[in-house]
């Protein structure tokens, strides 16, 4: 008979095998954790040391480079802006991330091999496969997603911005013409519906928004331009306005030989002739794409002062934006900026400025990072511009500086300016004064001219207060002489206190009225009046 085995030796042998299995399992897991924390360390300890050294030195070099880049970005924001807008660097980073994803995934697979999974028990072997798969897919997936984001940014820069030469600041300021174009396939960029010059201090970012009404007529062009030669006395084509100049230029494209955007070029010539400013760059905003941008950042908060209609009364979704502080989505924000029902063009211009100010103040870099892909997708559908790619970092930095400062505004609208027959000398003086105030400089002294009545300056008859007009027009009665005809008396009548002035009507975007001027159309601090 074979000798009976003792139960004690069986338990001891089972425990030794079990301990060995646990040691091998922990070793296999440790090799993968080492690869996660310090790529190449697993190979240096038990595998191909040459592969381990290459991986380790690559990792240390990339880590050092990343730390230097972060430190430089913290100390000087311009580094981050330059890196995020340089398409060559973005392509290199994209390729590096893809290569890093493949290389790191290989190191995880090699660490799994070094862990000798076939010597493990089934449950340990399955656990090691699961851990390795999770780590390799997580790391490689994150790197590939980063490469995708970098690629999106690169395509965004290529598709949106131009490749032309940079234009230096004029008298210390960059003047950028912002145009809002009608939506619709093939026509949104043809007829600017809103035109604003953002005059930006090249050092401080202090900004003045100068808006031009779309219905301005009989205006001059930039001196020496092709349209100045064609219209030496101003743009006096019957039935044509500033906003229709673009389509007029497209119908006369032969005047703009070699131009890729004759409509925009003509509009720039008109704006320069009106304001006396040299325009550095232009940007055409597709108003339908603007809705996508607002939605991408989660809406915009606006102070609504009167009910604003959204849509047309016969449409199913017609409603009003009620007064109060409201967070509006892209659709309602666009109607807030464009609605004219119950107001007028000049009230609408005031609301548009309030939307600009709100977007500048409320879209933070953190919001931009969280919603990067949506913003990039909206941006390519929203903006066409001639701003060179290598200048984008400069303007991003100026925009961040502008966030912490007051935005001044000037609108060339009635009652100050008669849009049918504008006083260009007055316009250019007002523009110069607004910029001088923004710079904290004394306003330029106007050229001496014969005194003009306010009515002649604005191009509209001056309005008399109702009570004054009635006194002037009412015939004197035989029994009650007018106050002007009353004989003096020994005792002066007691002074009657003047009635309190009525508050000006609210206009949706800022206080004011057509007769008094909308506050957001001419203000030293746009945020305060919106």
Q: Check: CB of residue 334 under 8 Å from CB of residue 302.
A: no
Q: How many domains does the chain have?
A: 2
pLDDT value at 364 more than 50: yes
Q: Of 507, 92, 200, which is closest to residue 340 (Cα–Cα)?
A: 507
Domain boundary (96, 131, 160) is at: 160
DSSP 117: G
Q: Are residues 177 and 211 in the same domain?
A: yes
Domain boundary (391, 408, 439) is at: 439
Tell me, yes or no, whether 293 lies in a domain.
yes
Q: What angle do CA 320, 355, 501 make, to 5 degrees?
A: 75
Q: Are residues 329 and 222 in the same domain?
A: yes
- Least confident residue range of 246-250, 364-368, 462-466: 462-466
Where do runs of H (alpha helix) occur along 86-241? 87-114, 122-160, 226-230
Q: What is the mean pLDDT of residues 45-61?
A: 90
For residue 459, the model assigns a pLDDT of: 38
Kindly indicate the confidence band of residue 9, based on its pLDDT and cuts at 50, 70 and 90: low
pLDDT value at 372 more than 90: no
Q: Is 221 exposed, middle or buried (0-12, 13-18, 19+ CB in 10 A)?
A: buried
Tell me the HSE value of 370 on the side-chain side, using a 13 A CA sphere. Answer: 8
Q: What is the mean pLDDT of residues 321-327?
A: 91
Residue 290's H or E segment, with its range, is: helix 287-296
C-alpha 311/C-alpha 323 separation (Å) is 17
Tell me, yes or no, whether 520 lies in a domain.
no
Token couple for 364: 């933070």
For residue 489, the model assigns a pLDDT of: 39
Q: Are residues 366 and 294 in the same domain?
A: yes
Q: Are residues 96 and 26 in the same domain?
A: yes
For residue 20, the model assigns a pLDDT of: 79
Kindly indicate the confidence band of residue 348, based on its pLDDT and cuts at 50, 70 and 90: confident
Tell me, yes or no, whether 55 lies in a domain.
yes
Distance, CA of 3 to chain centre:
89
Tell me, yes or no, whether 395 lies in a domain.
yes
pLDDT value at 188 more than 60: no
pLDDT value at 328 more than 50: yes
Q: Are residues 340 and 363 in the same domain?
A: yes
For residue 138, the model assigns a pLDDT of: 93
Q: What is the mean pLDDT of residues 30-50?
A: 90
Residues 6+ apart with CB under 8 A from 206: 200, 402, 405, 406, 408, 438, 439
Interval 138-155: pLDDT, tens: 999 999 999 998 988 888
DSSP 161: S
Q: Are residues 155 and 178 in the same domain?
A: no
For residue 102, the model assigns a pLDDT of: 94
Per mean pLDDT, which of 63-67, 269-273, 403-407 is the most reliable? 269-273
Angle, helix 87-114 to helix 122-160, in steps of 10 degrees: 170
- Least confident residue range of 212-216, 228-232, 374-378: 374-378
pLDDT value at 284 more than 70: yes
Give percent of the chain above pLDDT 90: 31
Q: What angle do CA 432, 436, 442 make, to 5 degrees?
A: 115
Range of the domain at 205: 173-439
For residue 255, the model assigns a pLDDT of: 92
pLDDT value at 18 more than 80: no
Q: What is the mean pLDDT of residues 236-253?
A: 89
Q: Are residues 80 and 117 in the same domain?
A: yes
Q: Are residues 302 and 411 in the same domain?
A: yes
For residue 520, the model assigns a pLDDT of: 84
Per mean pLDDT, which of 25-29, 184-188, 337-341, 458-462 is the most reliable? 25-29
Tell me, yes or no, whether 85 lies in a domain.
yes
Q: Are residues 352 and 204 in the same domain?
A: yes
Q: Are residues 83 and 191 in the same domain?
A: no
Q: Of 43, 57, 24, 27, which is closest to residue 108 (Cα–Cα)?
A: 43
Tell me, yes or no, whether 525 lies in a domain.
no
CATH value at residue 376 = 3.40.630.190
C-alpha 90/C-alpha 318 separation (Å) is 45
Q: Of 144, 82, 153, which is closest to residue 377 (Cα–Cα)?
A: 153
Q: Is 148 exposed, middle or buried (0-12, 13-18, 19+ CB in 10 A)?
A: middle
C-alpha 22/C-alpha 16 separation (Å) is 10
pLDDT value at 242 more than 80: yes
For residue 485, the model assigns a pLDDT of: 37
For residue 508, the model assigns a pLDDT of: 53
Tell me, yes or no, whether 51 lies in a domain.
yes
Where do runs of H (alpha helix) occur along 463-503? 466-473
Q: Are residues 156 and 182 in the same domain?
A: no
Higher pLDDT, 79 or 330: 330
Q: Are residues 339 and 220 in the same domain?
A: yes
Tell me, yes or no, whether 515 lies in a domain.
no
C-alpha 430/C-alpha 517 separation (Å) is 15
Long-range CB contact pairs, 304-307, < 8 A, 24+:
304/336, 304/508, 305/506, 305/507, 305/508, 305/509, 305/510, 305/511, 306/342, 306/343, 306/506, 306/507, 306/508, 307/342
pLDDT value at 496 more than 50: no
Q: How many CB atoms lie within 10 A of CB 208?
A: 24
Summary mean pLDDT of the chain = 79
pLDDT value at 471 more than 70: no
First to last CA, the chain: 104
Domain boundary (404, 439, 474) is at: 439
């Amino acid at each position: 008979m074979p000798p009976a085995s003792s139960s004690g030796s069986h338990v001891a042998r089972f425990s030794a095998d079990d301990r060995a299995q646990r040691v091998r399992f922990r070793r296999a897991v440790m090799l993968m954790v080492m690869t996660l924390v310090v790529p190449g360390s697993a190979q240096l300890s038990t595998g191909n040391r040459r592969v381990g050294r290459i991986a380790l030195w690559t990792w240390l070099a990339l880590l050092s480079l990343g730390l230097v880049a972060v430190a430089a970005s913290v100390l000087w924001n311009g580094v981050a802006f330059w890196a995020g807008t340089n398409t060559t660097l973005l392509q290199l980073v994209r390729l590096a991330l893809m290569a890093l994803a493949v290389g790191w995934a290989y190191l995880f697979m090699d660490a799994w091999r070094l862990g000798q999974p076939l010597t493990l028990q089934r449950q340990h072997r399955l656990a090691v496969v699961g851990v390795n798969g999770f780590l390799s897919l997580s790391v490689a997936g994150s790197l590939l997603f980063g490469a995708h984001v970098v690629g999106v940014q690169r395509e965004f820069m290529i598709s949106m911005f131009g490749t032309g030469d940079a234009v230096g600041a004029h008298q210390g300021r960059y003047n950028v013409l912002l145009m809002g174009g009608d939506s619709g396939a093939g026509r949104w960029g043809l007829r600017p519906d809103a035109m604003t010059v953002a005059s930006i201090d090249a050092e401080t970012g202090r900004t003045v928004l100068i808006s031009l009404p779309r219905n301005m007529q009989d205006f001059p062009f930039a001196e020496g331009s092709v349209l100045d030669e064609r219209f030496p006395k101003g743009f006096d084509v019957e039935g044509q306005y500033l906003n229709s100049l673009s389509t007029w230029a497209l119908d006369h494209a032969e005047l703009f030989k070699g131009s890729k955007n004759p409509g925009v070029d003509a509009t720039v010539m008109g704006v320069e002739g009106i304001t006396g400013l040299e325009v550095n760059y232009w940007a055409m905003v597709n108003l339908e794409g603007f809705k996508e941008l607002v939605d991408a950042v989660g809406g915009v908060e606006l102070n609504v002062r009167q009910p604003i209609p959204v849509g047309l009364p016969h449409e199913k979704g017609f409603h009003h934006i009620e007064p109060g502080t409201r967070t509006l989505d892209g659709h309602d924000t666009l109607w807030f900026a464009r609605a004219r029902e119950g107001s007028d063009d000049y009230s609408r211009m005031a609301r548009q400025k309030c939307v600009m100010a709100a977007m500048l103040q409320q879209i933070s870099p953190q919001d931009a990072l969280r919603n990067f892909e949506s913003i990039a997708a909206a941006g390519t559908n929203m903006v066409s511009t001639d701003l060179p790619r290598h200048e984008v970092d400069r303007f991003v930095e100026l925009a961040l500086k502008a966030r912490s400062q007051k935005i001044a505004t000037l609108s060339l609208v009635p009652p100050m300016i008669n849009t049918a027959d504008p006083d260009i000398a007055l316009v250019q003086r007002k523009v110069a004064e607004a910029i001088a105030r923004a710079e904290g400089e004394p306003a330029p002294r106007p050229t001496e001219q014969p005194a003009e009545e306010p009515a002649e300056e604005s191009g509209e008859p001056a309005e008399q207060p109702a009570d004054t007009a009635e006194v002037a027009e009412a015939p004197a009665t035989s029994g009650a002489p007018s106050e002007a005809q009353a004989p003096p008396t020994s005792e002066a009548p007691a002074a009657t206190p003047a009635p309190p002035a009525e508050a000006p009507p609210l206009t949706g975007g800022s206080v004011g009225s057509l007769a008094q001027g909308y506050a957001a159309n001419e203000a030293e601090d746009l945020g305060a009046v919106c």
